[in-house]
């Protein structure tokens, strides 16, 4: 399947994407994960992106499009892909459309995961992430703690609170989402690709996607 997962930070895009990969081997492509990997590895891309990310601002479109132009042409995308956290602005959506026309691929659907702001705020404040960039497993101190406090169940690395998951940065990320990313729902509605799913449980969202794609 070739999908875009839209939704505010904390709406559950990553969890839904991971579950969908198990259905048909489509790959999850998270621009946030790619950027955090670059920051940790200390690459030029990471150095350029880090300040924006820590403040909860969007990284410039040109950097993101450079990443996606390469990523979408990798062999593992041939089976399908789940775009998680990209596109995030109208210029990115337009550039993605041009890129997909150029490389001859088309989207099946754009899923907008709609979750109330208070639920999202609470989720993000209590979310913890494995610091190993190859793992980046997600936990929640309230609803999904690791077996041993502070240690990832999957790889044994430390679990940390992301620098952009303080209350101030979260508030700013949600405002940025409303201003820059929420308009993408209208963009994809016009393209005839939008499916909005309202639900705080990934079971509900995954089931709605399977139904819409007749899987
Ligand atoms: P995420 O894990 O998707 O919430 O992304 C974490 C941070 O990475 C965001 O707050 C942005 O600073 C940056 N980022 C991720 N994806 C994008 C994108 N498509 N466009 C611009 N910035 C992005």
What pTM was computed for the model?
A: 0.90
Cα separation, 68 vs 53, whole angstroms: 18
- pLDDT tens, position by position, for the chain (215 residues)? 999 999 999 999 999 999 999 999 999 999 999 999 999 999 999 999 999 998 889 999 999 999 999 999 999 999 999 999 999 999 999 999 999 999 999 999 999 999 998 899 899 999 999 999 889 999 999 999 999 999 999 999 999 998 888 888 899 999 999 999 999 999 999 999 999 999 888 999 999 999 999 88
Residue 49 CA to ligand 1 center (angstroms) comes to 9
What is the third-level CATH fold of 2-115+179-212?
Rossmann fold (3.40.50)
Please, what is the angle between helix 44-55 and helix 31-41, to 10°? 120
Q: Which atom of ligand 1 is found nearest the CA of 35? A: 8
Q: Which atom of ligand 1 is found nearest the CA of 57? A: 12
Question: Active-site residue among 36, 128, 173, 195?
Answer: 173
3-state secondary structure at position 127 = strand
Cα separation, 167 vs 121, whole angstroms: 8
Cα separation, 177 vs 150, whole angstroms: 29
Bridge partner list, 120: none
Q: Does ligand 1 have an atom closer than 6 angstroms to the CB of 64?
A: yes
Residue 214 CA to ligand 1 center (angstroms) comes to 31
Q: Known catalytic residue: 88?
A: yes
Q: What is the DSSP letter of 125?
A: H
Among 215, 163, 159, 175, which Cα is nearest to 52's?
163
Residue 39 CA to ligand 1 center (angstroms) comes to 12
Q: Does ligand 1 have an atom closer than 6 angstroms to the CB of 53?
A: yes
Chain position carrying tokens 């030029």: 44
Q: 76, 27 in Cβ contact below 8 A?
A: yes
Q: Known catalytic residue: 123?
A: no
Among 52, 34, 31, which Cα is nearest to 43's?
34
Instruction: Quote the pLDDT of residue 163.
Output: 86
Q: Identify the residue whose C-alpha is closest to ligand 1 atom 4.
A: 9
* Domains in the chain: boundaries: 2-115+179-212
E strand map for 107-167:
109-114, 127-130, 138-140, 159-160
Q: Does ligand 1 have an atom closer than 6 angstroms to the CB of 85?
A: yes
Among 1, 30, 34, 15, which Cα is nearest to 113's?
15
Q: Identify the residue whose C-alpha is closest to ligand 1 atom 8.
A: 32
Residue 130 CA to ligand 1 center (angstroms) comes to 17
Backbone angles phi, psi at 84, to 5 degrees: -120, 105
pLDDT digits (tens, 9 = 90+) for 171-209: 999 999 999 999 999 999 999 999 999 988 899 999 999
pLDDT digits (tens, 9 = 90+) for 23-32: 999 999 999 9
Chain position carrying tokens 């406090």: 149
């Amino acid at each position: 399947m070739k999908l875009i997962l839209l939704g505010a930070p904390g709406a559950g895009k990553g969890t839904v994407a991971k579950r969908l990969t198990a259905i048909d081997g489509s790959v999850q492509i998270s621009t946030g994960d790619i950027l955090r990997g670059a920051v940790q590895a200390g690459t030029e891309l990471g150095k350029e992106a880090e300040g924006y990310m820590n403040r909860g601002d969007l990284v410039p479109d040109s950097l993101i499009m450079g990443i996606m132009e390469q990523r979408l042409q990798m062999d593992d995308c041939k089976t399908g892909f789940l775009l998680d956290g990209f596109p995030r602005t109208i210029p990115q959506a337009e550039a993605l459309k041009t890129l997909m026309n150029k490389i001859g691929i088309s989207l099946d659907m754009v899923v907008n995961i709609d979750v109330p702001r208070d639920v999202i705020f609470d989720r993000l404040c209590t979310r913890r992430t494995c610091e190993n960039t190859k793992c980046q497993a997600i936990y929640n101190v309230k609803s999904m703690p690791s077996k041993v406090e502070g240690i990832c169940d999957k790889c044994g690395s430390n679990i940390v609170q992301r620098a952009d998951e303080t209350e101030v940065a979260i508030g700013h990320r949600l405002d940025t989402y409303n201003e820059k990313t929420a308009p993408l729902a209208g963009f994809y509605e016009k393209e005839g690709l939008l499916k909005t799913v309202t639900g705080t449980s990934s079971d509900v969202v995954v089931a709605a996607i399977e139904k819409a794609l007749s899987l």
